[in-house]
Amino acid sequence: MGVEQALSHIPALRRYARLLTGDATRADDLVQDTLERACIKWALWQPGSVLRSWLLSLMHNLHMNHLRDWRHDDGHAAIEEAQEPAHDPTAAAADRMDLQHALAALPPPMREVLLLVTVEEYTYAETADILDVPIGTVMSRLHRARERLREVMMDNGQTRPPAPLQLVKR
Spell out the domain ranges in the chain: 1-79, 81-159
Check residue 79 and give its pLDDT: 43
Interacting residues of 27 by C-beta distance below 8 A, sequence separation 6+ = 14, 17, 18, 20, 21
For the domain covering 1-79, report its CATH number. 1.10.1740.10
Check residue 137 and give its pLDDT: 94
Which residue, among 93, 88, 105, has the nearest Cα to 19 in the 3D structure? Answer: 105
Q: Are 78 and 51 in contact (CB under 8 A)?
A: no
CATH code matching the domain that covers 81-159, chosen among 3.30.390.30, 3.40.190.10, 1.10.10.10, 3.30.1360.30? 1.10.10.10
Q: Could you give phi then psi for residue 47, rounded to 5 degrees?
A: -55, 140
Check residue 128 and give its pLDDT: 93
Check residue 94 and give its pLDDT: 52
Check residue 92 and give its pLDDT: 44
Check residue 98 and give its pLDDT: 67
pTM of the model: 0.55
Per-residue pLDDT of the chain (170 residues; tens, 9 = 90+): 466 777 888 888 888 888 888 788 888 999 999 888 888 888 787 777 788 888 888 888 888 888 877 665 544 444 444 344 444 444 544 544 567 777 888 898 999 999 889 888 889 999 999 899 999 999 999 999 999 888 877 754 544 454 444 444 43
Check residue 144 and give its pLDDT: 93
CA 105/CA 155 separation, integer angstroms: 16
